């Protein structure tokens, strides 16, 4: 499976709500996350190291917002990097 196929597969898994499938595929994630340099940050803006952090990320994201639509298109790969254009729509849960 190429990196582009993997990323596409992960977006499809998210759309069907299969978070355990996604978390299993991250393996020994060393360094990732959301970098936000604002005074107020969303609950899912934190560095990710390892599968437990990936699970925490999705708990925070889906705990705060309900995914309405998520479509990844125009996936392009360059070695280990994959870039995707994503169209998304979310409903904010009660705050």
Q: In Å, how far are 12, 45, 50, 89 from 5, measured between CA atoms? A: 10, 26, 22, 23
Q: Note the pLDDT of residue 26.
A: 75
Residue 61 has pLDDT above 70, yes or no: yes
Give mean pLDDT, residues 44-72.
Answer: 85
- Euclidean distance between CA atoms 26 and 60, whole angstroms: 17
Q: Note the pLDDT of residue 35.
A: 55
- Euclidean distance between CA atoms 78 and 85, whole angstroms: 15
Q: Note the pLDDT of residue 89.
A: 95
């Amino acid at each position: 499976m190429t990196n582009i196929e993997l990323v596409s597969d992960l977006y499809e898994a998210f759309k069907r709500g299969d978070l355990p499938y996604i978390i299993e595929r991250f393996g020994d994630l060393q360094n990732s996350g959301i970098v936000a340099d604002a005074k107020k940050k969303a609950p899912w803006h934190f560095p990710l190291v390892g599968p437990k952090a990936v699970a925490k990320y999705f708990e925070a994201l889906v705990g705060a917002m309900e995914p309405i639509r998520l479509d990844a298109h125009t996936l392009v790969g360059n070695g280990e990097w994959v870039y995707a254009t994503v169209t998304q729509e979310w409903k904010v849960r009660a705050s």
